[in-house]
Structure 1
Amino acid sequence: MGRNSLVVVHGQAHERLRSFVSNSINRPDALQLIAACVQPRLVSASTRGLNLLTLQNIGKLFASLEPGPILDSLDKLYDGMLKGIRAYPLNFPGTASHHAIQCRKKLEAIFRVELEKKKKEEEQSNRVGTTNDLMDGLMQMIDEEGNQLSDQEVLDNIISLIIGEENLAMWKKKKGDFITIEDVSELKYTNKVVEETIRSANVSGFIFRLVTKEVEYKGYRIPKNWKVIIWLRYLHTNTENFEDPLCFNPERWNVPARPGTYLVFGGGPRICAGNMLARMQLAILLHHLSVGYKWELLNPDAKMIYLPNPAPADGAEIAFSKI
């Protein structure tokens, strides 16, 4: 992920980076920009290639990248990197871990070129503070003490971040009309579907934590400096936490989950900084697909693969037709 990635650092360094990243992603104006950015491609897209559409939106949001050879390279490099993240850490040619490290180096080189372009354009145009994407936001963010992120911190966090009852008023909008971040909050049922989706199939199956002081839990002594795993899928499929947990039931979100039972983005000070962004993009996608298309799962009995993450072997092929 990089030595300066929000995922890796701890303590005060984590607090500092988290403040920068959260502010650049979760500010109302940033979310509004993201909502406006992702929808033109979504609404005008054909019914093919949602994976490609997602990649194009990520490229645009994170570094103002347009479709072309660079985005094609990013797709392959991220795929290689993801496959190595959970592989055994053997760093020699031929291993998934080694391949992931090489992919990560190439990703950094690509984003460094884009970062240098932005710095040069800013110097030449004398325009300071123009924010068109997440990289701009991270480059320009200043904390209360007047400090900014270094170039390496920007790059490390760009790379790691790329790796979350419709109201009648919504249905009155014409098919294809763009919705705002304010509209998203009014998509009551859609937001329940989003929560049920990420509960049922969240990307992270578990998270690690380091024990900072010895504790006793349910009769077990856990020594300081031990590492513990929080098995998120156990939490989210435990009948003590969710009734009939293997049933996809958005109505369960009429009542919030009990504290400590729903951790799709982690929890505490290390909760995923992009959780609002993930929820918003899912809601926008579901809204437009629901009001604009019919869809049908082509292979309901497709086999599953489990690395790097559980997924249907065919990528969940779906046939779309415009309404």
Structure 2
Amino acid sequence: MAFNFSFFLPLFSVFVTLAFAIIFKHYNKFSSRNKKKLPPGELGFPWIGETLDFYKAQKGNKLYEEFVQPRIQKYGKTFKTRLMGSPTVVVNGAEANKFFLSNEFKLVVSSWPTSSVQLMGSDSIMEKQGEAHRCVRGIIATSLSCSGLEAMVPKICNTVQLHLDQNWQGKNIISLYRMTRTLTFTIVLECMMGIEVKPDMLGMFERVLEGVFSPPVKFPGSAFSRAKNARMEIEKMLINIVRKKREEIEFQQGGGGGGGGMLLFRLVMALIRGEMSEKEVVDNVILLVFAAHDTTSFAITMTFRMLAHHPNCYSQLLKEHLEIKHNKRPGESLTLEDIKKMNYTWQVARESMRMFPPIFGSFRKAITDIEYDGFTIPKGWKVLWTAYGTHYESEYFEDPMTFNPSRFEDPVKPYVYLPFGGGPRQCAGYQLAKLNILVLLHYVVTQYEWSLVNPEEPIAVDPLPFPAQGMPIRISPKLS
């Protein structure tokens, strides 16, 4: 039987036409994608890229000088690289900060390494988006409202004075960084959360911190494995605390008493109302402990360092605190009104954090193709903004490498000064950090003479910045 080609010819023609149309469509799509102008820079080898250069610069606390600035000079303020397996666009300047930080949830979302997410908590505020993020942030903000801070100040004062009595009296030399880590840890747990600090707690949290930027490979003896085990210990402890707190609240007729403005109380109330799960409460407590204590202790030690290097600034700061003390009765705690009078002290602290930001910046991930600065940042790429991109630039701060607290007498333009981030994800514990810094400075400078043991002590990073020798200081009680 003969095959009739003429019957299939029209169908074949239709098929070929459709095939060419599909091919042409995909070709145009591919071509237009290729025509998108990517930022200049080097992606380097797959996965590795420029990660080793990045880590080397960061570890020596020279991320801006040795990694960011040379690439700005070569490529401009917006450049591409590859870090930890991801193509990444590094952006610099106030306009970039505003564009990316204010477009959180719209163009970008927070993007942390896998190890950080597992150790800090996949259900914590750092991983929440949109309404879920706003809910948790609202709970934290309520605890740190004006009334919440007013109630917290006397508690912080008592904690600081007790810490000085137990750990400073009778000593000639102390490790300031170590002491402030212990103190800020105690403040966030006891004064903010209402959780009693046990002797082994700080050690457990520090073991977790050691693994937050390590490769997420859990084999015996690895940093991540040790951190994961410590995280499990903390989790068990906190689950018991949360359940006990829930029983107390429910026993007191649905939360009518006990807890007040304590953050743990508010988180457990959200759990009772069905707004949060038990895991969300635990994950957020763990994250907030890290966020509120580790960066604050570094900010405090750097403030003391800069005061030691600038005696004229110290004299002016001391005068401010002696005037406040003069108006207090012996043993009387500070009030929120006293804190508001520490204008120059806060200028000193802000300038210290400008020069030594507690966080170098943070990563975001593009959730759509982004057009910025004449370039396209493809969906799925990472975006890295850095505090150094404005803090160290004369465009924003005159003579930026000179310590000058008076530059903060006038308001700073938005998205220029970002020691604790900005936008919807600005550090929720910023006000607590401010209280910690100002209260501790008051009690130390009014009660002790002090000086640095090693004025030129280097700053290291692992994974967060810290004084390499723990910032030892010589101390002696002030003569009344």
TM-score, normalising length: structure 1: 0.88
Counterpart in 1 of 2:114?
none
Residue type of the partner of 1:189? Y
Say which SS state the counterpart of residue 84 (structure 1) adopts: coil
Counterpart in 2 of 1:134?
263
Correspondence 1:43 to 2:165: no
Q: Is the 8 A contact 1:63 1:114 kept in 2?
A: no
Counterpart in 2 of 1:191?
346
**Cα shift at 1:160:** 0.2
Counterpart in 1 of 2:381?
226
Counterpart in 1 of 2:324?
170
**Cα shift at 1:183:** 1.9
Q: Which has the larger radius of gyration?
A: 2
Give the Cα–Cα distance (whole angstroms) in 1 for the partners of residues 418 and 398 of structure 2.
Answer: 17
Counterpart in 1 of 2:282?
155
**1:290 aligned residue (437, 445, 456):** 445
Q: Give percent identity, aligned residues only.
A: 31
Counterpart in 1 of 2:186?
56
Counterpart in 2 of 1:214?
369
**Cα shift at 1:81:** 1.3
Give the Cα–Cα distance (whole angstroms) in 2 for the partners of residues 88 and 281 of structure 1.
Answer: 33
Give the Cα–Cα distance (whole angstroms) in 1 for the partners of residues 269 and 368 of structure 2.
Answer: 38
**Structure 1 portions without partners, runs of 5+:** none
Give the Cα–Cα distance (whole angstroms) in 1 for the partners of residues 230 and 389 of structure 2.
Answer: 32
Aligned length: 317
**Cα shift at 1:147:** 5.3
Q: Is the 8 A contact 1:129 1:140 kept in 2?
A: no
Residue type of the partner of 1:106? E
**Cα shift at 1:281:** 1.5
> CA RMSD for the aligned pairs?
2.5
Per-residue CA deviation, residues 53-108 of structure 1 (Å, 9 max, x unaligned), is 333323312443445xx3x3221111111111122332333222222222222111
Q: How does 1:54-93 map to 2 (within 5 A)?
A: 54-67=184-197, 70=198, 72-93=199-220
**1:111 aligned residue (232, 238, 259):** 238
**Cα shift at 1:228:** 0.4
Considering fraction of residues, name the structure with more helix.
2
**Cα shift at 1:224:** 2.3
Correspondence 1:95 to 2:214: no
Q: Is the 8 A contact 1:61 1:134 kept in 2?
A: no
CA distance 1:33–1:149, shift in 2 (3 Å): farther
Give the Cα–Cα distance (whole angstroms) in 2 for the partners of residues 168 and 63 of structure 1.
Answer: 31
Give the Cα–Cα distance (whole angstroms) in 1 for the partners of residues 195 and 124 of structure 2.
Answer: 21
**Cα shift at 1:167:** 7.5
**Cα shift at 1:179:** 1.0
CA distance 1:153–1:129, shift in 2 (3 Å): farther
TM-score, normalising length: structure 2: 0.61
